[in-house]
Structures are given as C-alpha cells and as structure tokens.
Amino acid sequence: MFPFLIIGSLLILVFIIVRSTFKGNLKGILISCGIYVAIAFAIALYSTIASAMVFMVLSCLVAAVEIIRALCKNKFNRFIPHIVGIILTTIYFTHAFIVAQGLVIKNYDIDLGAQLKIAHISDTHIGSYFDVDDLRKCVDLINENEPDIVVITGDLVDENTTLTEMREACEVLSTLRSTYGTYFIPGNHEDNMGMYKKVKNGYQTLVRELKNNNVNVLDDKVCEIGDDFVLIGRLDGDFEDRSSLSKIVSGSGIDTTGKKVIVLDHRPFNLRYVAEDPDVDVDLMLSGHTHGGQIFPVNVVYKLISKKDDIIYGMAKIGDTYFIVNAGTSSGEVPLKNMVKNEIVFINIR
C-alpha cells in the first residue's frame, strides 16, 4: 500500500503544478478529472480499494487547500477544475463500485444441430471481493436453471486465496447439479497459486480439492459429453507444459468425427488459429480472463492493443466456430466495473 501512496503523493504534486497553468475552462476540468481517475484507479488496481480510498481522501484534502488559496486570492476560476474533478470522480467510482456488486444471467442461443444447455462461470477470484457465500448464491442460481453441464473457465481462485477459502469453495461446487457434471480448467492465476505462501503447492492442492468434490479438471484433457459432444479443456498459456489442440485430441484416443467439439480456454486470444485448426473442427470455444474490459478506460486500451481475432466480451463467430467470452462472475481483484456486469452465462445449444 505505502509505495503506491508515495507515488500518488508525488503525482499530486505534479498535478498541482500542471493545474496552476490552467484556468477554470473545459481543458482544465478534463485534465483534473483525468488525473484523479487515473491515479485512483491505478491505486485500486495494484493495491487495494482501501488504499485507493485513502488516496482519494488525500486528493480531496489537497484540493481543499487549493480551493482555500484560490478563495483568498479571489481567483474563483482556479478551483473549478478541482470541484468538478472531485464530483465526477466520486460519481465514477461510486457507480463502478455499485455495478461490481451485482450479478446477472446472460443467455446465448446457438444452432449446432444437437442439444445441450451449458452453465458457464469464470474469474470468481475467491477471497478477493467474491467470497464463498457469493459462490453459494451463484451455485443456487445455476441449479435453478437446470443445466446439462457446468463449466468453469479459470481463475476460480488466485494468489490471495487462502487454503480454507479454497477448500470451502470446492465444497460449494460439489453442490452443483447437472446432467453431465462440472468441469474446470485453470487460468493464469491458478498457475501462480501459492506464490504468497498461502497455499503450499497451490495448483496441485486445488486440483486435489476439486476432484475430491466431484469437479472434473480438464488440464489439456478431453472427455465425451453424451452421444453428441466432445469437451476439450486447455491449460492456460502461463503453464509451461500446455499442448497444442491437435496433440491434446490425438493423445486422448477419442474420435471427434461427427461430434460437436467444445473447447474451454481461459484466454480468448488468437482465435483464428482455433477456427482454422486443420486437425480439430471446433464448434464452440468458451473463455474468460478479460472481465469484459471491466472498466473505462481499460476496455478502450484492451481494444487498442488486441489483435483482429481477439474477443474482449460477448459472442462472435469466425468461420464456422462460435466464441463466447464471459465478463467474469465477479469483479476480480478490483471491486469496480462499469462497462459490463458480473454474469453467469447460459448457452443453449440446439
């Protein structure tokens, strides 16, 4: 927390210098708002919401001092950017915080010539701002909708999840009800589990707990779902031993001919390679990771740096392959969301 507050304090000093060169016009207001939002969001992203709040209070105090100075000199136009900046920043973060507390159900309909109802959750980051009770509510909603299968596309837990939280979360997942069971693939945060020494041998411990609670772990594995579907679960790209799609299928001994192939892959990037894979005819791929862009201006940055065949959120089709990206069932490590909502996704395949 403290390094970021120090950096934030230095940025405030820069802000005061920059502000002093502008009067209370639109340019000054935009600069004021932009700096307040950028700094506060950076603190929240790389530290905690508490440190972000401390920083915002510090910013308000600095602004108050500047306002008093301006009033004493009868230069009212000099403190207008501060007032507008503080008001808009407060509205921005309040709205984003409120949105991040909710959970909605999103439905997609896909015609593949076979029937399957999938419940899809992703990026819960148990122990951050989404706890076991939240997961229990999520499970209840899924059970009420009676899916054929439940899939979890990574980042169920992360570096900050304790062993107790992880075990309790896995026990809650054991109460999921579906025709063909629950399937999990790891995300980039599962690869880093235990880096803060909260869970020894983090990923291996997670896999054991999941299996003990009837959750199937598909880390570069394939399984058949009913008579018409094949499910392929991939390791995240951060895992060194991640295999290619064709190697996973060929090594499984399962024949995908005439069946609908569904791929679970945490990151929705380089999708054209999946759609055009010469060895595996993929019908649908489900992902998470991006949190749907989560919050402005992160969503804009995502779109600017993304490749043409990357998807940030929603459903798209490349060739004959459908791609669906979950916005995240929680807000993750930062309890702020204003571009999308936390969601449970149901895919109705017909």
Per-residue three-class SS string for 86-145: HHHHHHHHHHHHHHCCCCEEEEEEECCCCCEEEEEECCCCECCCECHHHHHHHHHHHHHC
**Which of 51-55, 58-62, 87-91, 117-121 shows the lowest mean pLDDT across its residues?**
51-55
Query: Does 329 score more than 50 pLDDT?
Result: yes
| pLDDT band at 70; cut points 50, 70, 90 | low
CA separation for the pair 350, 333 (Å, rounded): 36
38: helix, strand or coil: helix
207 and 336 inside one domain = yes
Q: Looking at residue 170, which CATH number applies to its domain? A: 3.60.21.10
Domain stops at, among 68, 99, 130? 99
Q: Helices 26-46 and 49-72, interaxial angle, to 10°?
A: 150
Distances (CA, A) of 333 to 107, 157, 244, 274: 25, 11, 30, 29
90 and 118 inside one domain = no
45 and 94 inside one domain = yes
Query: Does 189 score more than 60 pLDDT?
Result: yes
90 and 116 inside one domain = no
If one counts the domains in the chain, the total is 2
252 and 109 inside one domain = yes
**Closest by CA position to 326, among listed 154, 76, 120:** 120
For residue range 101-113, list pLDDT tens digits in order: 999 999 999 999 9
55 and 127 inside one domain = no
64 and 116 inside one domain = no
Tabulate helix, strand, coil % of the chain (nearest 5): 45, 20, 40
Domain stops at, among 71, 99, 127? 99
Query: Does 51 score more than 80 pLDDT?
Result: no
pLDDT at 337: 87
For residue range 116-166, list pLDDT tens digits in order: 999 999 999 998 889 999 999 999 999 999 999 999 999 999 878 888 999
240 and 129 inside one domain = yes
For 76-115, b/e burial (b = at least 16 CB within 10 A) is: eebbbbbebbbebbeebbeebbebbeebeebebebebeee
What is the pLDDT averaged over residues 200-225?
A: 91
**Closest by CA position to 105, among listed 159, 73, 145, 157:** 145
pLDDT at 107: 97
85 and 218 inside one domain = no
What is the pLDDT averaged over residues 262-271?
A: 93
pLDDT at 262: 98
**Which of 10-19, 65-74, 83-92, 103-112 shows the lowest mean pLDDT across its residues?**
10-19
Domain stops at, among 32, 65, 99? 99
Tell me the residue range of the domain where 200 lies: 105-349
287 and 157 inside one domain = yes
pLDDT at 144: 97
Query: Does 242 score more than 60 pLDDT?
Result: yes
Contacts of 119 (CB under 8 A, 6+ apart): 142, 145, 147, 149, 150, 151, 178, 344, 345, 346
CA separation for the pair 303, 100 (Å, rounded): 21
What is the pLDDT averaged over residues 282-307?
A: 82
85 and 120 inside one domain = no
285 and 342 inside one domain = yes
pLDDT at 91: 77
**To the nearest whole number, what is the mean pLDDT of the chain?**
81
Q: Helices 26-46 and 2-19, interaxial angle, to 10°?
A: 170
Query: Does 53 score more than 60 pLDDT?
Result: no
The pTM of this model reads 0.80
